[in-house]
Amino acid sequence: MAKVKKAEGKLGVMVVGLGAVTTTFMTGVLMARKGLTKPVGSMTQYDKIRVGQGADKQYLKYNEIVPLADLNDIEFAAWDVYPANAYESALNAEVLKERDIEPVKDELIAIRPLPAAFDHEYAKRLDGDNIMHGKTRWEMVEQLREDIRNFKKEKGVDRVVVLWAASTEVYVPVDEKVHGSLAAMEAAMKADDREHIAPSMCYAYAALAEGAPFIMGAPNTTVDFPAMWELAEKTRMPIAGKDFKTGQTLVKSGFAPIIGTRCLGLSGWFSTNILGNRDGLVLDEPANFRTKEVSKLSTLESILVPEEQPDLYTDYYHKVRINYYPPRNDNKEGWDNIDIFGWMGYPMQIKINFLCRDSILAAPLCLDLVLLSDLAARCGRYGTQEFLSFFLKSPMHDYTKGEVPVNHLFQQYVMLKNAIREMGGYPADEPID
């Protein structure tokens, strides 16, 4: 039987960014535990997994297999560049109707954002002043660590998970001289190397150093290099990332397997998005969009692989665009045009128009990632948690060893189920074909 520590005491959830996604997540959890709404879309709250086979076969919810933290035991905190509390931010985000916010108004008002570790060069479209002024990268780390300790003390929290749900930073390429080892990264932080050390890396370092799992919900390269993997191993803490898999990439990771399984050919896949929230504003900056583009492009290439089926997937054209369109606010529209070919090379087209609500899709992912990262930590699992790739656009993988990320949604689901089984003391009995 797997040795899993029980989910005793309070679970602190500290979120970087108090925008549309975070306030929708917080409001939904607070409303659900009052019985005023349902956490629809959350795997940890609804999904059932088969355990055992034959006469012993059962289909159980996650919390019947493993000890998950209860929603009633969650305490929230946040950092943000804007000083508005969670109630004000939820109203400003205009995702939820006021009637769905008011019942938990007092709880949301009490969540006031701590000053953010922020560098304007990494998100030029944001101009908030609730930030740490004049601090070096290492001083940011020290302040964030103190914030985590203070939160645990003030709220009587036993465990903490840190979740990045803030805007996408400008793209930071991995530099082996800085990101190749923990010692090199620490030296760069202490030298205030602002070119190679993004603010998000300060949050990740602080979380892991304080014994808190870290989840990267944006496409930043924050924990995607050897120095952070070394820190996660040293602190024996789980890390997960990167980029919440909400709209278009969810469709792509689920639909591309249809093309591949049916052995149809692909000539091109054009994806475009329009959205008008703060995320769209930040991504309107080309340097920030580059980070997102790398994340979104990687999905298809690991599902429909030219080397495996050269007749079907050689030289297909894949293009991704994101367009900032303020009138749409959080109601994102993802449009895909897919050019395929079939018998004797004859062309066909598929068009998918997903009018989704970005934060409504992201909120249950936040809950699942937090609860499962906390579970992983209590199970003694540390380093990259590949089983959480189901929830993420661009799954982390050890590229230094030639690993290829698993982006196929149904293979990711098998990985998720097997991990839950293992942590619950059952055999991981479902193969990934």
Residue 5 counted as domain residue: no
Q: What is the pLDDT of residues 156-165, one digit of tens each?
A: 999 999 999 9
Residue given tokens 């508005």 in the structure block: 84
Do both 74 and 198 map to the same domain? Answer: yes
Out of 312, 338, 355, a domain closes at 355
CB 413 within 8 A of CB 386: no
Residue 15: predicted pLDDT: 98
Tens of pLDDT, residues 335-360 = 999 999 999 999 999 999 999 998 99
Q: What is the pLDDT of residues 366-400, one digit of tens each?
A: 999 999 999 999 999 999 999 999 999 999 989 89
Shared-domain flag, residues 326 and 295:
yes
Same domain? For 274 and 297 the reply is: yes
What's the confidence (pLDDT) of residue 195? 96
Burial class (CB in 10 A: 0-12, 13-18, 19+), 133: exposed
- 330 and 412: one domain? no
Q: Rounded to whole angstroms, what are the CA distances from 149 to 12, 13, 101, 267, 288?
A: 11, 13, 29, 53, 31
Whether 431 maps to a domain, the answer reads no
Mean pLDDT, to the nearest integer, of 188-200?
A: 98
Average pLDDT, rounded, for the chain: 94
Question: Do 205 and 158 reside in the same domain of the chain?
Answer: yes
In a domain, 124, yes or no: yes
Which amino acid is present at 339? D
pLDDT, residue 432, reads 85
Residues 6+ apart with CB under 8 A from 267: 316, 317, 339, 340, 341, 347
| Predicted local confidence at residue 157, as pLDDT | 98
240 with 310, same domain? Answer: no
Residue at a domain's end among 336, 355, 374 = 355
Residue range 188-192: average pLDDT? 98
Q: Which residue do the tokens 């609500």 mark?
A: 357
Give the per-residue pLDDT at 1.
43
In a domain, 266, yes or no: yes
Same domain, 312 and 202: no
Tell me how far apart the alpha carbons of residues 433 and 426 are, in angstroms, rounded to a whole number.
20
Are 268 and 139 in a shared domain?
no
Residue 298's pLDDT is 74
CATH number of domain containing 316: 3.30.360.10
85 shares its domain with 227: yes
Residue 284's domain spans which residues? 248-355
195 and 292 together in one domain: no
* For residue 425, pLDDT beyond 90: yes
Residue 237 placed within a domain: yes
Residue 79 pLDDT grade (very low, low, confident, very high; cuts 50, 70, 90): very high
* Residues in CB range of 324: below 8 A, 6 or more apart: 274, 275, 276, 280, 281, 283, 284
Query: What is the per-residue DSSP string for 240-307?
Result: EES-B--SHHHHHHHHHHHHHHTT-EEEEEEEEEEE-SHHHHHHTSHHHHHHHHHHHHHHHHTTS-TT
Q: For residue 291, is pLDDT > 70?
A: no
Q: Count of alpha carbons within 13 Å of 65, Cβ hemisphere only?
A: 29
Q: What tens digit of pLDDT does each residue of 116-140 get?
A: 999 999 998 888 999 999 999 999 9
In a domain, residue 429? The reply is no
- Is 2 within the bounds of a domain? no
Task: Judge if 239 and 128 occupy the same domain.
Answer: yes
- Express each pLDDT in 36-58 by its tens digit: 999 999 999 999 999 999 999 99
Instruction: Please report the DSSP string for 316-374 in residue order.
Output: -EEEEEEEE-GGGTT--EEEEEEEEE-GGG-EEEEEEEEE--HHHHHHHHHHHHHHHHH
The pair of three-digit structure tokens given for residue 323, joined into one six-digit string: 């367009």
Mean pLDDT to the nearest integer, 316-326: 91
Specify the number of domains making up the chain. 2
Residue 293's pLDDT band (cuts 50, 70, 90): low
Domain limit, last residue, from 355, 384, 410? 355
Q: Is residue 3 one of the residues assigned to a domain? A: no
Query: Are 113 and 205 part of one and the same domain?
Result: yes
How far is the C-alpha of 42 from the C-alpha of 15, rounded, in Å? 18
